[in-house]
Amino acid sequence: MSKAKILIIEDDKEISRLTAMYLEAEGYSTHIIADGAKAKTTVHHEQPDFIILDLMLPGLDGVSVCKQLRQFYQHPILVLTACSDDISEVSLLKLGADDYLTKPVRPHVLLARIENLLRRYQFTAQDSKQLQVGQLKIDTNKQQVSCNGLIPALTTAEYEMLLLLATHAGKIVSREDCCRALRGINYDFNDRSVDMRISGLRKKLNDDALPYQTILTIRNKGYMLSNG
C-alpha cells in the first residue's frame, strides 16, 4: 500500500526518473511534471500529499510556482536548489518552502526529510484540540488559524511554529526548541532559519511592525506568544 502521493516538479529527466524510482521502491507513489506552468493545474488534479520542487524550471520558475501554490496548498513543499548560501535559504523560507536540499541530493537524506515533514504534517492533522490565545484561534482539525478576523495561509512549518508557541503561550520558547520541533532533534540548525519563519508569521498575522504585539522576541532567549 502506498504511503503517500508525491509530485516531483523537475525538468531534468534523469534526476526525476531516479528520484521517482527510489521513492517508489520505498512505497511512495509518484507523479512527474517538467514544466512549472503546469504545476497549479496538476496539483489541483492529482492532490499530492507532498511536493518536491526544483527551482530551475521552464514555463514558470520554482520560486513563482511555490508562491502560486501557497495560495491554496497546505501540504509540505521541499525545494531542490543548486545554491546553498544564506541568501538562498532566506529567500526559500520567505516564499513558503517547508525545507530545502541542495543538489546533488543524496537519496537517503531526501527520504529522511520527506518522512520528517510528512510525520509533522500528519501529527498536526490528527490533533483535535482547539486553541485560543487572545485574538488568535487555532483549529487543529482544519489546520486553520484566525487572528483578528484574518485567516492567513500558513505553510506547514509556519503553522507548526505557531502551534508550538501557542501551546506554550506566555512562556519563552528557545530557538533550539523551535528548531527541534520543526526539523528533528539531530538536525544541524541555525538561528536564521527559525527567525525567518517567525518573520513570515508576523507578516501574515499583521504584526510585523515594532513593537510586536503577538509574537515577542526575548533577547538572547527565544520567542514568546503573548497571551494578553
- pTM here is 0.60
Highest mean predicted confidence (pLDDT) among 5-19, 83-97, 124-138, 147-161: 5-19
5-123: CATH architecture: 3-Layer(aba) Sandwich (3.40)
* pLDDT classification of 177: cutoffs 50, 70, 90: confident
Mean pLDDT to the nearest integer, 91-114: 86
39-43, 49-53, 88-92, 208-212: the lowest-pLDDT one: 88-92
Residue 185 has pLDDT above 50, yes or no: no
What local confidence, expressed as pLDDT, does residue 133 receive?
85
Please write the tens of the pLDDT for every residue from 219-228.
888 899 987 6
Give, rounded to a whole angstrom, the gap between the first and last alpha carbons of the chain. 47
* pLDDT classification of 54: cutoffs 50, 70, 90: very high
Q: Phi then psi for 3, rounded to 5 degrees?
A: -75, -50
Residue 192 has pLDDT above 80, yes or no: no
What local confidence, expressed as pLDDT, does residue 108 receive?
92
Q: Report which of 63, 55, 74, 67 is spatially closest to residue 10, judged by C-alpha positions.
A: 55
Average pLDDT of the chain, as a whole number: 84
How far, in Å, CA of 148 to CA of 129, rounded?
Answer: 20
Task: Name the grid cell of 49.
Answer: 500529499
Residue 184 has pLDDT above 70, yes or no: no
Please write the tens of the pLDDT for every residue from 6-45.
999 999 999 999 999 999 999 999 999 999 999 999 999 9
18-27, 67-76, 113-122, 182-191: the lowest-pLDDT one: 182-191
What local confidence, expressed as pLDDT, does residue 187 receive?
45
The correct answer on CATH 1.20.950.20 for the domain covering 128-225 is: no
What local confidence, expressed as pLDDT, does residue 1 receive?
41
What local confidence, expressed as pLDDT, does residue 129 receive?
64
CB-count exposure of residue 168 (10 Å: 0-12, 13-18, 19+): middle
Residues of the chain with CATH 3.40.50.2300: 5-123
Residues of the chain with CATH 1.10.10.10: 128-225
Residue 81 has pLDDT above 50, yes or no: yes
